[in-house]
Structure 1
Amino acid sequence: MKDADKGVAGELDGHDLRIGIVQARFNAALTEKLYETCKAELQALGVSPKHIRHVTVPGALEVPLALQAMAELKEYDALIALGCIIRGETYHFELVANESGAGVTRVSLDHGTPIANAILTVENDAQAWARAGEKGRDAARVAVEMANLLEDLS
């Protein structure tokens, strides 16, 4: 395979990166676990604590608007969305899951800012707890990798 045919991946070096995190407070214990593991992984990847901006919003539907406000500042190399939507007995689950996901994607594409979407959409509390730590770490890694990739591609 020629080098030109190989995919290019971003590095997992977070030094000098500025990362914004928007955390939904609904299902607070779960989203706090997402945040704590995300923050710890960002720091393990070299992101300085002073370069991590953390804001909270009421729920998953409010996450995209806060992300948009942060993206418009042009101060962040990547953003991270944290939340947890647990299926209930009504259609509300689908509405919140679909609209929050679409909003996160739209902000990323509209602003050319990588956003790691770690808004969990699960059936029950057990599934949420089983994923909270792993997805928080994954979000940190995705944010750092994509910030570096976009820098390399520009």
Structure 2
Amino acid sequence: MQGADKGQTASLDGNGLSIGVVRARFNDAITTALANACLKELAALGVSDRHIVQVTVPGALEVPLALNAMANSEDYDALIALGCIIRGETYHFELVANESGAGVTRVGLDHQLPVANAILTVENEEQAWARVEEKGRDAARVAVEMANLLEKLL
């Protein structure tokens, strides 16, 4: 392939970007901490508070539906999915993890809109707490970088 690599340099400049955040309330203390880390990083990247819309849903399975509604509005440059699924003793963990992940991916592909997936899938609460800060920050950076990249590509 010839020509310049349009995605060669990651742009983490969030100035002027509109970001939608969907947070599952299930495992509320963990997802609240995840959201706080994400919002702090969005601010550090220059995304204005007035350009961030946050909504909450009951659990991870409801996240894709809210993301899809936000994507349909065409008001956002990127979306962020936040949640926490902790393995239990039944198959329900796999169902929720697989279906929510597939739904989040589908929203991004169907709408050609970046969706940062920070729905934690962990074995126990300890693992979740160990990942909250990093995954929250990562979600913010992914959303901003991909919004800027798609702006160049489309």
TM-score, scaled relative to structure 2: 0.96
Per the alignment, do residues 81 and 6 of structure 1 end up closer, same or farther by CA in structure 2, a change over 3 Å counting?
Answer: closer
Contact 2:17/2:51 (8 A) holds in 1: yes
Contact 1:23/1:57 (8 A) holds in 2: yes
| Equivalent AA in structure 2 for residue 130 of structure 1 | A
| Equivalent AA in structure 2 for residue 149 of structure 1 | L
Per the alignment, do residues 127 and 18 of structure 1 end up closer, same or farther by CA in structure 2, a change over 3 Å counting?
Answer: same
The 3-state SS of whatever aligns with 2:101 is helix
State the alpha-carbon separation in 2 of the partners of residues 22 and 111 from structure 1: 16
Contact 1:37/1:133 (8 A) holds in 2: yes
Q: Please report how far the alpha carbon of residue 7 of structure 1 lies from its aligned counterpart in structure 2 after TM superposition.
A: 4.9
Does structure 1 residue 43 correspond to structure 2 residue 43?
A: yes
State the alpha-carbon separation in 2 of the partners of residues 110 and 5 from structure 1: 24
| Equivalent AA in structure 2 for residue 93 of structure 1 | F
Contact 1:10/1:152 (8 A) holds in 2: no
> Aligned runs of 1:112-123 on 2, under 5 Å?
112-123=112-123
Per the alignment, do residues 48 and 83 of structure 1 end up closer, same or farther by CA in structure 2, a change over 3 Å counting?
Answer: same
State the alpha-carbon separation in 2 of the partners of residues 58 and 44 from structure 1: 28
Structure 2: give runs of 5+ residues left out of the alignment. none
- Residues 120-149 of structure 1: per-residue CA shift (max 9 Å, x gap): 000000100000111000000000000000
State the alpha-carbon separation in 1 of the partners of residues 22 and 37 from structure 2: 14
> Aligned runs of 1:14-29 on 2, under 5 Å?
14-29=14-29
Q: Please report how far the alpha carbon of residue 8 of structure 1 lies from its aligned counterpart in structure 2 after TM superposition.
A: 2.5
State the alpha-carbon separation in 2 of the partners of residues 31 and 144 from structure 1: 20
The 3-state SS of whatever aligns with 1:15 is coil
| Equivalent AA in structure 1 for residue 144 of structure 2 | V
State the alpha-carbon separation in 1 of the partners of residues 53 and 134 from structure 2: 21
Match of 1:54 in 2: 54
State the alpha-carbon separation in 2 of the partners of residues 4 and 49 from structure 1: 34
Aligned residues: 153
Contact 1:9/1:149 (8 A) holds in 2: no
Q: Please report how far the alpha carbon of residue 5 of structure 1 lies from its aligned counterpart in structure 2 after TM superposition.
A: 5.6
Q: Please report how far the alpha carbon of residue 6 of structure 1 lies from its aligned counterpart in structure 2 after TM superposition.
A: 7.8
- Residues 92-117 of structure 1: per-residue CA shift (max 9 Å, x gap): 00000000000000011001110000
State the alpha-carbon separation in 1 of the partners of residues 53 and 128 from structure 2: 24
The 3-state SS of whatever aligns with 2:119 is strand
State the alpha-carbon separation in 2 of the partners of residues 51 and 147 from structure 1: 14
Per the alignment, do residues 5 and 66 of structure 1 end up closer, same or farther by CA in structure 2, a change over 3 Å counting?
Answer: closer
The 3-state SS of whatever aligns with 1:76 is coil
Structure 1: give runs of 5+ residues left out of the alignment. none
